[in-house]
Amino acid sequence: MAIGVKVMKRPEKQVSYVRATLKGMVLTFKHMLEKKVTMQYPEQKSTDREHGLGTYSLSPRWRGTHRMLTDEQGRSKCVACGLCPQICPANCIKLVPGEDEQGHRYPLIYEIDEFRCIFCGYCQEVCPEEAIHVGTHFENSEYSRGRFVYDLERLSSQTHAVSTLWDPADPKGE
């Protein structure tokens, strides 16, 4: 042999072609009869409650695009405290605070640049009013780059479920 081939020390019974071939063919045929595992994406989504493929559910801890929660009057819960732009490691939250006659603070401008966001979820963790949340959502395509800067109205009008962040005190989410 010109080329040194690594010699596996197998008993000759093990290198038999016929039995191995038949065994393999039985295996592949069994697979033909098994349940299909592919998720048919546009019809079935991993965010669906019932998609029939239980194991592919999106994790409740999935950190997707943001959502601003609102109170009963439809105003955002944000009190413009400024903690989220402070903690944001990607510096993607723009907040201009305002104050009404009763002294209630509210955001005049609240914008999140989803391109700069690294989806760490710190904003949700730090928010004292539980106003800003990251969501369990993954279909984010847009026709222009400008649409990826989500303003307050956009953040408040999104309806997808919000993420339940990982709690160090309860690591398994129980």
Partner 1 sequence: MTPELKGFLLLSVIKMVIVFTIIMVGVALLTLMERKVSAWMQNRHGPNRVGWAGLLQPAADGVKNILKEETFPAQANRWLFTVAPALSFIPALLLSAVIPFAAPLPVDFDFTLGPLGRFVHHGPMPMVVADLPVGFLFVIAISSLGVYGIALAGWSSNSKYALLGGLRASAQMISYEVAMGMSLIPVLLLSGSVSFSTIVAQQQAGLWYVMPLFLSFFIFTIAGFAETNRLPFDLPEAESELITGYHTEYSAMKFSFFFIAEYANVVTVCAMIATLFFGGWDIPFTDWDRSGGVLPTLATWLVFFLKVLFWVFVVMWIRWTLPRFRYDQLMALGWKVLMPIALAYIMVMCVAIYVVERVLGITSPVLASLALFALNVGLGILVFGLLDSGVFIRGSGYRQQERLKERGARTARAAVAG
Q: Enumerate binding residues for partner 1 (CB under 8 A).
A: 1, 4-8, 12-13, 15-19, 21, 24-25, 27-29, 31-32, 34-38, 40
Written as six digits, the tokens of 169 are 């005190």
Q: Compute the distance between CA of residue 11 and CA of residue 19 in angstroms, rounded to an integer.
A: 14
DSSP assignment of 49-71: S--S-GGGPPPTT---SEEE-B-
Name which of 1 and 169 has its Cβ closer to partner 1: 1
Question: Shortest gap between Cβ of 55 and partner 1 (angstroms)?
Answer: 13
CA–CA distance, 174 with 164 (Å, rounded to integer): 11
Choice between 42 and 89, CB closer to partner 1: 42
Query: Cα separation of 144 and 168, whole Å?
Result: 38
Contact yes or no for 55/43 (Cβ under 8 A): no
Kindly state the smallest distance separating residue 17's Cβ from partner 1, in Å.
6
Give whichever of 40 and 157 is closer to partner 1, judged by the CB atom: 40
Dig out the tokens for 149 from the structure: 């800067």
Q: Compare residues 35 and 49 and give the one whose CB is closer to partner 1.
A: 35
What are the tokens at 1? 């042999």
Strand order in the sheet with 93-99: 93-99, 105-113, 149-150
Output the smallest distance, CB 95 to partner 1, in A.
Answer: 45
What is the smallest separation between the CB atom of 23 and partner 1, expressed in angstroms?
9
- The residue among 35 and 145 lying less far from partner 1, judged by its C-beta, is 35
Q: Residue 124 is encoded by which pair of tokens?
A: 């949700």
Closest distance between partner 1 and the C-beta of residue 62, in Å?
25
